[in-house]
Structure 1
């Protein structure tokens, strides 16, 4: 439990970015959904072997009670899809300790169903200083890590040596569906969100830069990789997608 104060880094980044985006004149349809879990012992606490029915309608067998954040995050993206009608969903969380091993202390990990948006996240990170590096997106090989005999899936992987950060992101994506036609971007910021015991504020600048084209701020327009003319040939789909609704 000590050190868990930094586990709110994803929600803190979303809140900071949402507030800053509104102050800078965000011009598109924007929602912020906060997926909060309390790590506390009590009579209603999740137990190993429990089976939960999530908002998506899928059932999850609990094989790791420390993988609690992904349960509420899965509900959050499902709510964004079903109730808010979002066609671009960006989730940001301190999801896995393995992220620091996969991409290091200074680069957040990005997992997405869109190659164009993966490139956009990396470019936005370089321009704003919140660095990002891609994870392997391969649900056909990795999602079997969550196989359950009694539910649609387990909440933690069978093999922790098989790209656990990618798998954790796929758990979230499964609750909107791998065949969902919209853009889904998952940002695991577990390592860069803190330096020792202090928060870094990582994520706020990244989201502002990524969606800067929807802002009235000229600097954010300049650094945003979405809709940038010099990148038009490389990412036409990104430019078109940037005109859609957005959920952060």
Structure 2
């Protein structure tokens, strides 16, 4: 893992030095000393509009030498206007610096930051830069055995020069805890499906969370059958891998206050079942447990930073396969709530998992609110692309809290509509409801949300986050996330808890 340090070191000991430049192109006295050591290379570059633009995120790598004639790199990165500075922008700057240092094969990069940037003080800026660099340093390459050391090269040391390094380190510890939660989520999502299946996933959760003081219960199929979880069990009945339900309880308070509750869809591989998906792109369906990874990741992060809050997380873990015992289109299943569902499409399976999860949650706990998160529908990607996740909520205040947290973390949510018309589209002629809408191709993500909503008890505040379009980044343009699993939702849900429910 990347080593982030906050010390009063000599910047010249690093193979790369990063300089943050605002849109005023003014350099402070410390940067001026660095500039003078390198014969005015920094000042000459930023004054030339042809080669440097003071727009947020713009960067330039300059090659130079130190006093001993050894090659060194100056990384210039533009902050843009300080009026628009935000915590997430500073994190992204940290991620960009790490990526640029890695690209020029610098084993270490040093950065001296100003006393204040916008409304943020030096120690906070340092912690955010370190957190962003840590998130950007994530790699999942354990199966790439033919890669050379040069191809696997990554900058290992990120040295931030700050006056009060003890305060900066204390602030960074929270950033590190959050990053470790994100890493856990990314590791689970990126893991290959013959290694990560319901049983092994449940074991991984136990292994990683129990040592942190989190109470983890794993329910097997016999227990779920006795509870009447016919919907969840129906999804997994075609697989030779047993389905699991994992309940995680984090008690950061000594009282019996009602917990914040998170529910995650954990379909470790989704073939579509009998309603088989096309072969092209089916390998991506190992990511269909992204919602569950967000839940386990945020609970790990909350525990690591000793958050003053009580939280319950539930994830339903299944594998949707077209075996001889697989669920058929036209089957009717009885859910834990007692409601019956006509399964018209076995590829609309996530909602069948979630409905039994939220029922179990409400029967065993008294939730202050419920937020479920799932890679639920392709329809949400058609609506929102890869920019926003969809947010459905039966409570305006809950929706507002989630969207505010999403803006702070840049894990963006867009509120989507709940309407009786969509609910009516779930009618079935043989059961209480169908698992898909009656009008093919219309309002697929909204009917899916309404399906889950039918299992939410009256008076319970509930939100559903459809993250199908944002859980995985194929472009690799996110400065704090390499190409692959994003871990979307960990930072968002952590911020949501921190801003609205956590005891100070």
Q: Same fold per TM (> 0.5)?
A: yes
- C-alpha separation between the residues in 2 aligned to 1:26 and 1:183? 22
What does residue 83 of structure 1 align with? Answer: 364
User: Once superposed, which parts of structure 1, at least 4 consecutive aligned residues long, lie more than 2 Å away?
Assistant: 26-29
CA contact (8 A) 1:70 1:168 kept: yes
SS class of match (2:307): coil
CA contact (8 A) 2:341 2:431 kept: yes
* Match 1:159 to one of 422, 439, 451: 439
* Match 2:399 to one of 114, 118, 122: 118
The 5 A counterparts of 1:163-174 are: 163-174=443-454
What does residue 62 of structure 2 align with? Answer: none
What does residue 205 of structure 1 align with? Answer: 491
CA contact (8 A) 1:194 1:200 kept: yes
CA contact (8 A) 1:56 1:176 kept: no
- C-alpha separation between the residues in 2 aligned to 1:49 and 1:170? 20
Q: Provide the aligned length of Structure 1 versus Structure 2.
A: 214
* Match 1:192 to one of 470, 477, 501: 470
SS class of match (1:5): helix
What per-residue deviation string (whole Å, max 9, x for no partner) do you get for residues 134-172 of structure 1? 01021x221111100110000011124432111101101
TM-score scaled by structure 1?
A: 0.82
What does residue 309 of structure 2 align with? Answer: 28
- C-alpha separation between the residues in 2 aligned to 1:26 and 1:194? 28
What per-residue deviation string (whole Å, max 9, x for no partner) do you get for residues 180-201 of structure 1? 1021011010011011272111
What does residue 329 of structure 2 align with? Answer: 48
- C-alpha separation between the residues in 1 aligned to 2:400 and 2:309? 22
- C-alpha separation between the residues in 2 aligned to 1:189 and 1:120? 17
What does residue 95 of structure 2 align with? Answer: none
SS class of match (2:324): coil
How far off its partner does 1:108 sit?
0.8
* Match 1:142 to one of 422, 425, 428: 422
- C-alpha separation between the residues in 1 aligned to 2:402 and 2:384? 14
Query: What 5-or-longer segments of structure 1 have no aligned partner?
Result: 213-223, 227-241
CA contact (8 A) 2:472 2:486 kept: yes
What per-residue deviation string (whole Å, max 9, x for no partner) do you get for residues 7-29 of structure 1? 11111111111110111222222
* Match 2:378 to one of 91, 97, 104: 97
What per-residue deviation string (whole Å, max 9, x for no partner) do you get for residues 60-113 of structure 1? 001001011110111011111112222311100000011112222121110000
- C-alpha separation between the residues in 2 aligned to 1:85 and 1:34? 17
1:128 pairs with 2:409: yes
SS class of match (2:371): strand
How far off its partner does 1:36 sit?
2.0
